[in-house]
Structure 1
Amino acid sequence: MNALLGKILDSHGGADRWKRYTEVKASIVSGGGLFALKGLRQDSDPRRMTVWLHEQRASVLPFGAPDQRTMFTPDRIAIEKLDGTLVAERYAPRDSFAGHQMNTPWDPLHRAYFNGEAVWTYLTTPFLLAMEGMRIEEIEPWTEGDETWRVLRAYFPGSLETHCLVQDFFFGEDFLLRRHDYTVTIAGGLAAAQLTSDYTEANGIRLPTKRRAYARGPDRRPIRELLLVSIDIGDVSFE
């Protein structure tokens, strides 16, 4: 394993502990300007997110109605009733974003897919960097104020559904995640810099509870006036 990645995983709770768990549950409250661009109503109601840690699978409850949830896997997105009755589904869901730009409207299945792939990525970071098929390399460090952040560039395998195939992860001197850069390919290649803060510890795993994704300027710095997505995470448990 990359030596830097080993220190990062240890600081977030350790690979051995991570392997003992199969899923994480958390309450999430999301906001930001991206949803309005997509013609979607956004509220501040908390929702319950379940993410499977060693396979790409996620679900959020409620979704669209109090008795509905989503079920996300790489090859299928679905909205279903709590008793399993199917409301809507789409196979090969990423194909439905072909030709989309930043302001192309989304339907509920588009939104459900975005939620699934995005929050799965966030709640498995940084341990996903050690998953089979991932390739990482350390690139030039980043200076932020009086701090120097080390940066891992991750090359994702095509079998994983995520924002884009190449993403950068920034870590502070304590080896905790400070920032996550990516492009949202399903929204016309929108460049984002997501800042992470307010760490908590749940069942021995450390993770940030605040994520703020801003449009990323040509100087690679976040444009603070352009908040794309905000996520507040609480009531976290690993099982």
Structure 2
Amino acid sequence: MALLDDAIDACGGLPRWNSLSRFTLHLSVGGALFSDAGHAREFKDVTAEGSTRTQSVRFTGITGGEQSGAFAPDAITIESVDGQVLRTWRNPSLAFPTNGTHALADELHLVFFCGVAIWNYLATPFLLARPHVVIEELPPWQENSETWRRLRVQFPPGPISLASEQVFYFDGNALQRRTDHDLLGARVAHYSWAHENFNGIVVPTLRRTLTLQPDGTVIAKPVLIDVEIFDAVFE
């Protein structure tokens, strides 16, 4: 599909992406979704290391630098700074408990959520070219004074994504600028901008998730998720 090809080329191209195996990020993640769960500063100024080929991310420096958290599809762990496993969640699922507590109140759920989100953020748009991903180009969308092209994407069961169906928006340079999907019982618009080139891969360094209204417009506050990538290394 032409739009997907353009988006992949704009971010470095499949040959470059397929030549890589690892990434390291210096980033901060916050927003109302985290503060409302009592984790306003859990993911401030942390390091995320992982694989570009399989879903795995290790966060170092969470909880004020006192712990690390590791995400993989089959297990989530919380570890001490010396590598001792403190807690484990086997076979995690995005179907978080609905017993009246916040979905991300448990740190294991928080690590799982951030692992899924950060890995998918980095792997897109290359992830969309994987087998069994169903793509449909939608009519263009006017965002302020810009015209953005759109793809509706349905993901297969693996790898884990925040939502099985999402709509991706790309600007005139074929860079991803927005994604609409369901998130923890709400409809959201996830904006991305300030793209930078790191080792041949173009990554948006600023991301913001807002509540989406039925007419396609967004509610500016509260900011549900706020992501800033300070540096990235791909190897």
TM-score normalised according to structure 2 size: 0.92
- Give the alignment partner of residue 201 of structure 2, picking from 195, 202, 205: 205
Bigger drift between 89-98 and 54-63 goes to 89-98
Preserved CA contact (<8 Å) 2:26 2:48: yes
- Alpha-carbon separation, structure 2, partners of 1:114 and 1:101: 18
1:152, CA displacement in angstroms?
0.9
Please say if 1:78 is aligned against 2:77.
Answer: yes
Preserved CA contact (<8 Å) 1:27 1:234: yes
Q: Secondary structure at the match of 1:225?
A: coil
- Alpha-carbon separation, structure 2, partners of 1:29 and 1:213: 14
The residue aligned with 1:138 is 137
Structure 1 segment 1-239 matched on structure 2, within 5 A: 2-42=1-41, 45-64=44-63, 66=65, 68-94=67-93, 97-99=96-98, 103-104=102-103, 106-184=105-183, 187=184, 189-239=185-235
Q: Could you tell me the percent identity over the aligned residues? A: 33
Q: Secondary structure at the match of 1:113?
A: helix
Match for 2:118: what amino acid?
A: V
The superposition leaves residues 88-143 of structure 1 with CA deviations (integer Å, 9 ceiling, x where unpaired) of 11112116614367944621101111110011111111111112332211112211
1:55, CA displacement in angstroms?
0.7
Match for 1:156: what amino acid?
A: F
- Alpha-carbon separation, structure 2, partners of 1:209 and 1:47: 15
- CA distance change for structure 1 residues 95 and 115 in 2, over 3 Å: closer, same or farther? closer
Preserved CA contact (<8 Å) 2:69 2:76: yes
Match for 1:237: what amino acid?
A: V
The superposition leaves residues 20-65 of structure 1 with CA deviations (integer Å, 9 ceiling, x where unpaired) of 1012111111221111222333267310011311111111111236
- 5+ residue gaps, structure 2: none
